[in-house]
Amino acid sequence: MAPNTQYFPEQKACTTVSFLDKVSGTTPNSGFWNSGSIFKIDPSRKETVLFSFRFGPDGCNPWQGLVMDEAEHLYGTTTGFGICGRGTLFELYSPGNFGVLQENLSGYYGHLTLDKAGNVYGSSSGPYKLSKN
């Protein structure tokens, strides 16, 4: 599932290692609608697409890797679309169970981090904190 590098040759898959020796990651310009996907690779090297972005309210083209909380929910960002057209912060609870947590990220390209309380931190045109409480 290599990304389509015809228009964005610098884009590569970004990965995160989970607690159970599974690898999860994102690829831009891939998936069913060619607007990015979230995937996992299990210890037997079987690859599974967990979510395909649709150039819509869910966003498109995840650029950076994912962060994972203790419940193994995956968090990441997209650089485009969403309702405002400027990227999204998302959470993937389980394959296909996806939610947009924040929009209008100004084409976010940075990394996310989680604290022990489950808050998500990142920055776009300014820093932000998203509290799950």
Question: What is the structure's pLDDT at 125?
Answer: 61
Query: Where in the sequence is the domain holding 76, given as residue range(s)?
Result: 14-130
Q: Tell me, yes or no, whether 52 lies in a domain.
A: yes
C-alpha 85/C-alpha 121 separation (Å) is 21
Q: Tell me, yes or no, whether 7 lies in a domain.
A: no
Confidence of residue 51 (pLDDT cuts 50, 70, 90): very high
Say which range, 9-18, 32-41, 84-93, 116-125, has the weakest mean pLDDT: 9-18
Number of domains in the chain: 1
Q: Which residues of 15-49 are buried (b: 16+ CB within 10 A; e: fewer)?
A: ebeeeeebbbbbbbbbbeebbbbbbbeeeeeeeeb
Question: What is the structure's pLDDT at 24?
Answer: 85
DSSP 8-state class, residue 59 = B
Q: Tell me, yes or no, whether 9 lies in a domain.
A: no
Residue 95: CB atoms within 10 A of its CB come to 12
Question: What is the structure's pLDDT at 116?
Answer: 86
Q: Tell me, yes or no, whether 25 lies in a domain.
A: yes
Domain of residue 101, CATH code: 2.120.10.30
Higher pLDDT, 130 or 84: 84
Q: Tell me, yes or no, whether 36 lies in a domain.
A: yes
Q: Tell me, yes or no, whether 5 lies in a domain.
A: no
